[in-house]
Amino acid sequence: MPSTTADSRAITTTGAPMAIGPYSQAVANGNLIFISGQLPIDPATDGIVEGGVAEQTKRVLDNIEAILHSEGLTLGNVIKTTVLLMDLGEFTVVNAIYADRFNEGVLPARATFQVAGLPKGALVEIEAIAAVAA
């Protein structure tokens, strides 16, 4: 029988920025972890990291890893990502960092979109779905 919302639990860690709206950092349901879109916010300062899309992409992936680590998981558990970019012309930069970090196991399925705007003026946002080994 599929899991229901009654089987869901919120995941929260101080290693990643707190949600900036009425949503959870991540939600576990069954063997899946749904990680909300992560912005390049440094949880220590609660501000967007300085620099360009490279620095911001690294911070976003750090935030995703922090959430995964709080559940004993790694980027190797990620099965799907969605990448939102302010400028698709930065795809090559983001892709190189992404490839360096997602370097174990099966690469996740992915969709990438250029968007008109992101919260707090971010240049990149990434959401992820991870699977917990049964």
pLDDT in the model for residue 120 = 95
pLDDT per position as a tens digit, 91-134:
999 999 999 999 988 999 999 999 999 999 999 999 999 999 86
Q: Which residues constitute the domain of residue 118?
A: 5-131
Question: How many domains is the chain built from?
Answer: 1
Q: Percentage helix, strand, coil, to 5, in the chain?
A: 30, 30, 40
Q: Using the predicted structure, report yes or no on whether residue 2 has a pLDDT greater than 60.
A: no
The model carries a pTM of: 0.94
The CATH number of whichever domain residue 85 belongs to comes to 3.30.1330.40
Q: For residues 108 and 97, give the distance between their C-alpha atoms in angstroms, rounded to a whole number.
A: 14
pLDDT per position as a tens digit, 23-39:
999 999 999 999 999 99
